[in-house]
């Protein structure tokens, strides 16, 4: 077993647990002490409000769970995706890749807990510029998932492994084949 890779994976598991815990703690604060479910909207800053929404779908509100069967299907679907991300994270060695996958996993777990317990995901973060809202209302789990995906994409495009000669690998040119 590779000790640095094992350490990196443990860091990833800790980060995923931290993201899921923070997500759930903030959601508890929003619906508990802040009573956002009842008041629906709290103005905080000129560019940020808390606005309570119940997202019964997945990304961008797609696949709305309009009945119990669809709710549990979404729980199973998102849990399956989270399992794939977990397995992928356990196969990685580099901390950057593991951290990105941990963000995705932690966010997925946070939203799965909501969907399991409530039948929907609680969203509350509302960024805006006047009446223009560049983002849908979201939560910490959504932000973690998005940041994790962006990191994975950036690392896959910008960070290259070294080849067998110790030189930085480069993308293949058009028509060029790997040897």
Structural tokens at position 31: 């619906």
Please give the Cα distance from 17 to 31 (Å, whole number). Answer: 21
Q: Which residues contact 69 (CB under 8 A, 6 or more apart)?
A: none
Q: Which residues contact 119 (CB under 8 A, 6 or more apart)?
A: 56, 65, 68, 71
Strands of 48-55's sheet in order across = 41-45, 48-55, 121-127
Length of the chain: 179
164 is catalytic: no
Please name which of 62, 111, 61, 63 lies closest in space to residue 85, comparing C-alpha atoms: 111
Q: Which residue of the set 123, 126, 163, 164 is catalytic?
A: 123
Which DSSP symbol is given to 43? E
Is the Cα dihedral 95, 146, 41, 50 positive or negative?
A: positive
β 121-127/41-45 pair status: unpaired
114 is catalytic: no
Active site residues: 123, 142
């Amino acid at each position: 077993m590779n000790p640095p890779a094992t350490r990196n994976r443990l860091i990833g598991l800790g980060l995923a647990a931290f993201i899921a815990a923070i997500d759930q703690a903030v959601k508890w604060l929003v619906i508990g002490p802040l009573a956002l479910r009842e008041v629906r909207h709290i103005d905080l800053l000129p560019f940020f409000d808390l606005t309570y929404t119940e997202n019964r779908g997945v990304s961008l509100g797609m696949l709305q769970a309009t009945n119990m069967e669809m709710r549990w299907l979404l729980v199973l679907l998102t849990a399956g995706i989270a399992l794939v991300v977990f397995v992928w994270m356990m196969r990685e060695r580099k901390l950057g890749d593991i951290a990105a996958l941990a963000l995705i996993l932690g966010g997925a777990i946070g939203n799965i807990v909501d969907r399991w317990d409530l039948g929907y995901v609680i969203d509350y973060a509302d960024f805006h510029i006047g009446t223009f809202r560049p983002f849908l209302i979201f939560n910490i789990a959504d932000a973690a998932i998005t940041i994790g995906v962006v990191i994975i994409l950036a690392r896959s495009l910008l960070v290259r492994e070294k080849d067998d000669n110790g030189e930085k690998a480069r993308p293949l040119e058009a028509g060029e084949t790997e040897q």
